[in-house]
Amino acid sequence: MIVGIVKESFPDEARVAMVPALLPQLAKAGIEVVIESGAGDAAGFLDEEYTAKGGKILSSRAEVFQTADVVAQVRALGANPENGRSDLELLRDGQAVIGMCEPLTEVESDRAMAAKGVNLFSMEMMPRITRAQSMDVLSSMATIAGYKAVLLAANELPKMFPMMMTAAGTVAPARVFVVGAGVAGLQAIASAKKLGAIVEAYDVRPAVKEQVESLGGKFVELELDAESSEDAGGYAKELGEDFYHKQREMMLSVVAASDVVITTAAIPGKKAPILVTAEMVRGMHTGSVIVDLAAERGGNCELTRAGDTVVEGGVKIIGPVNIPATIPYHASQMYAKNIATFLLHLADEGNLVIDTEDEITEGTLITQGGKVVNPRVLEAMGVSSEGSE
């Protein structure tokens, strides 16, 4: 089996889908890797590093697509809807593509890939089960986002994070409130605490209280009766607007007392819930900072604009997009490890095997045999499996 790695074409995407250190592990499983020249440059991985580990450098993107049985990307067509369309003419029937592709929302891209006869695998659809943890790109990239969110906030806040005893008196520590204690939230808590801030956190799942406290944060308990916040696949799901309304009311005073608010609530295939209203922003003191990690999904703050910084009443609302690409070296290392583990899962004696009886394969397979086959994607399309594309 030959796996092809191409240079990412999405604007400002600096990650690469495979790093040199993992090539020997793939080679032992009978997987050869070919790389478009310069594919890893932006992330800090040069062509000679790939060749030193057994990779083969090809001069053009077209040559990689022509040679490879499987093309691994950070952003396949759905997650790269404009520039990614030029790859369609390079794909061939029966070829496999693995990457992030926004399959629940970019359904026209799913259809386009199906029409080409491609076996498309979406890394975002990895089941949240124990044996798939090492392939979970959402968790890997959320770790980076949580860390960077704290750095963004610290850079914009007109205060220092730690308490300091100085000759000029005592400097009070910054107060950080993290909304959502998933992977990104927990990393944000840990990073803010290491910088010396007083950290509070809230999550709809009371069970994460112990995790928050283990990182040195204080868990904010709101007396709310919530239904399960996770779907059968282990991903966050939408709760009723009534619940979100009560949650916002109870968070008002906590947000007002915070110097920094970091929000992390994103729901796959859905608009992010509004957790911080304009009223709550107006209650914060001048110089406070909100970092909205759900900006690409519409934002958890009512005033967020994706890719921009909004100032409202002296409060900065930062809506960062594609944070992992701003730390491309380690983001690529983590993403490539997820991809390599998934490739080894799919490979049998060096051949690609698509076993739809396997939970991991079935959960991530979007298109096969000219059709959209993934049940969650078909549901999003409003199409039954019998009438799949």
Domain holding 366: CATH number?
3.40.50.720
Residues 343 and 194 in one domain: no
Residues 154 and 277 in one domain: yes
Comparing 69-73, 94-98, 270-274, the range with the smallest average pLDDT is 270-274
Beta bridge partners of 309: 318
Residues 122 and 203 in one domain: no
Residues 232 and 350 in one domain: no
The pLDDT value given to residue 384: 64
Residues 34 and 125 in one domain: yes
The pLDDT value given to residue 268: 80
Residues 316 and 376 in one domain: no
**267, 289, 321: which is the final residue of a domain?**
321
Residues 145 and 129 in one domain: no
Catalytic residues: 128, 133, 136, 139, 235
On average, the pLDDT of the chain sits at 93
Residues 332 and 299 in one domain: no
Has residue 159 got a pLDDT over 90? yes
Residues 161 and 291 in one domain: yes
Query: Would you give the DSSP letter of residue 162?
Result: S
**Tens-place pLDDT, residues 19-61:** 999 999 999 999 999 999 999 999 999 999 999 999 999 999 9
The pLDDT value given to residue 386: 43
**321, 337, 371: which is the final residue of a domain?**
321
- The answer to whether the beta carbons of residues 317 and 309 sit under 8 Å apart is yes
Domain span at residue 339 reads 2-135+328-387
> Which residues does 251 contact at the CB level (< 8 Å), separation at least 6?
179, 202, 220, 222, 275, 276, 280
pLDDT band, residue 227 (cuts 50/70/90): low
Residues 148 and 270 in one domain: yes
The pLDDT value given to residue 239: 59
Specify the number of domains making up the chain.
2
Residues 124 and 144 in one domain: no
Long-range contacts of 161-169 (CB under 8 A, 24+ apart): 161/192, 161/195, 161/196, 161/197, 162/195, 162/196, 162/197, 163/196
Residues 179 and 309 in one domain: yes
**296, 321, 346: which is the final residue of a domain?**
321
| The two structure tokens encoding residue 135 | 């392939």
